[in-house]
Each structure stands twice: as structure tokens, then as C-alpha cells.
Amino acid sequence: MTQLERFQRDGFLILEGFSSDSECDALMTRAAELSTGFDYTGHPSVFQTSEQTRTSDDYFLESGGRVSFFFEKDAFTAHGKLKNTIELSLNKIGHALHDLDPVYNNFSRSPQMKRLAAELCIADSLLIQSMHIFKHVEIGGVVDVHQDSTFLYTEPLSCVGFWFALEDATIDNGCLWAKPGGHQTALRSWFRRKDTGGTEFTIFDASPIDMTEMIPLEVKKGTCIVLDGLVPHYSLPNTSSKSRRAYTVHTISRDARYPMEN
């Protein structure tokens, strides 16, 4: 069975040894450099006023073309001071690393990525979003079950995600969970901009996602997991003594309509 056939059957594809240790280490080193060089003064997460929701929404919505920093919940004290070092306080960095940072650009557009895209028949796709996810020891939080096409909606649906394990991912430190064949379902919702500002979910199907038969995707450092935009997936908290850093890239078809409301 070809990689494309396995991907079409399961809705995800696990490719062990896709990236070398040195390639993974280069991204983690670069994330540390970006983190320590970031001045968080005035960051929306620091605000403790009624304006916090609005400023946070604006910061998030403007991050599509920037390298932006997103903190873990409760990373700050009531006085706007970090409880830990900045790198150990961050949830992720996103969402234009693949375009704006040379280290992430080279990784995202590597020869092996181009070969994989060709094998999956998406060689003409566009890189639309990237994230460095930290999942720190004991504080890395839950990522609720979701479909990537909810957040990167196109007409027709075309989102494909590439999730790279920069460290070993286990049940204990919050690996991904997914259901084989779970992509053979409808899109539940669309996360979009409200006309009045901020964001909202447009609901297409209010029925809950079926969580039965979800399996843990425990993988070694250097593994690439390809995810269909419809396959439901999630991760649990990191309750271990080992971090679970990852890098993700999402693509869409260049021929699909990408609504301005995204």
C-alpha cells in the first residue's frame, strides 16, 4: 500500500525518521533564540482590564503574517510579571515562521517535504500557517479535540497538516490522539472573523465528535505525522518530566477559495 493510499484510508500518516536529530535540534535552538529575544512588554496576555479580550483577539488575528508569541494560561502574575522564564512560559510561536524565519523556512520547504507533497498529490499546495509548540513539562495544557479545517477553512476543503515531533511524544507527555478513518465525516464548524470584530464559530454540525476508537500516536523524535484537515485529533496535558516540543505546518490548495473571514 502506498503512502497516499494509507493516508486516504486512515486520515493520517506516520512517517518515522522523516527529519534528522540535527534538523529537529536546529528548530528547538531557534525557538529558544526567538523566545529569549522577545520583549513581552505590552503583550495582550499581560493586560488585566476589560480590554484584554479585544486586544488578545487583535493580536491573534494579526499573527497570520507575523512571528507572534502565545503564552500558557496563567503564565503571568496579577501584576503582569512572568512566573517562570519566558521560554518556559510560552505555549507556542506562530503563525508565519515558515515565511519569515530562515531556519523554519528551510525546514518547511526541505527536499523531503517537497517529495512527500508530490507523493500525496499536493505538490502545488500553499504553506498557510506554522507553529512551534512547546508543551512544557507539567504545564503543557490540553488541546481540545478539533478538525484543522475548522481553522483553515477553504472551499472545497483542502487543509493538510504536517506535525513534526522535535522530541519523543508519549502518552505521558501529551502525544497526539486520532481515530483511524475519522476523517470520513463532516466538518463540524468554521472559526471565522465576526463582522463586528473578534471571532466566532459558525456551526455546521452540532453533533459531538465521536471519541471512541481514538488511539495515541506515540512517536519518536524526527517523526512526521500528516493529518487530513477533517480528521479529529487532540492532545492531553503533559504530566511528565519531559517536554514534548513539536513544529506544525499547514497547507491548502492554491485552487481553493480562502475566505477573507478566516
pLDDT of 100 strictly over 80: yes
CA dihedral sign, ordered 218, 222, 227, 232: positive
For residue 148, the tally of other CB atoms under 10 A from its CB is 22
pLDDT of 94 strictly over 80: yes
Look at residue 56 in the predicted model and tell me its pLDDT: 77
Phi, psi values for residue 251, rounded to 5°: -120, 155
Average pLDDT, integer, range 27-35: 97
Which residue did the predictor score with more confidence, 50 or 166?
166
* Domains: count for the chain: 1
Look at residue 28 in the predicted model and tell me its pLDDT: 97
Q: Do the domain assignments include residue 261?
A: no
Q: Do the domain assignments include residue 260?
A: no
CATH number of the domain encompassing residue 204 = 2.60.120.620
pLDDT of 49 strictly over 50: no
Distance CA 200, CA 194 (A): 6
Amino acid at site 3: Q
Average pLDDT, integer, range 198-211: 91
Burial of 232 (0-12, 13-18, 19+ CB in 10 A): buried
Look at residue 41 in the predicted model and tell me its pLDDT: 85
pLDDT of 52 strictly over 70: no
Name residue 146's beta-bridge partners.
233
Distance CA 25, CA 166 (A): 7
Look at residue 203 in the predicted model and tell me its pLDDT: 96
Indicate the Cα dihedral angle 15, 120, 246, 54, nearest 10°. -160
Phi, psi values for residue 90, rounded to 5°: -85, 140
Which residue range(s) make up the domain with 72? 3-252
Question: pLDDT for 125-146, tens place per residue?
Answer: 999 999 999 998 877 778 899 9
**Segment holding 177, helix H or strand E:** strand 176-178
Q: Do the domain assignments include residue 24?
A: yes
Q: Do the domain assignments include residue 257?
A: no
What pLDDT band is residue 50 in, cutting at 50, 70 and 90? very low
Look at residue 47 in the predicted model and tell me its pLDDT: 60
Average confidence score pLDDT of the chain: 92
Q: Do the domain assignments include residue 169?
A: yes
Q: Are 128 and 252 in contact (CB under 8 A)?
A: yes
Q: Do the domain assignments include residue 206?
A: yes
Phi, psi values for residue 176, rounded to 5°: -70, 150
State which of 53-67, 71-85, 231-245 shows the largest mean pLDDT. Answer: 231-245
DSSP-based three-state secondary structure for 78: coil
Distance CA 192, CA 203 (A): 11
Distance CA 110, CA 170 (A): 26
What pLDDT band is residue 53 in, cutting at 50, 70 and 90? low
Distance CA 32, CA 82 (A): 16
Amino acid at site 32: A
DSSP-based three-state secondary structure for 111: helix
Q: Do the domain assignments include residue 207?
A: yes
Q: Do the domain assignments include residue 262?
A: no
Which residue did the predictor score with more confidence, 70 or 80?
70
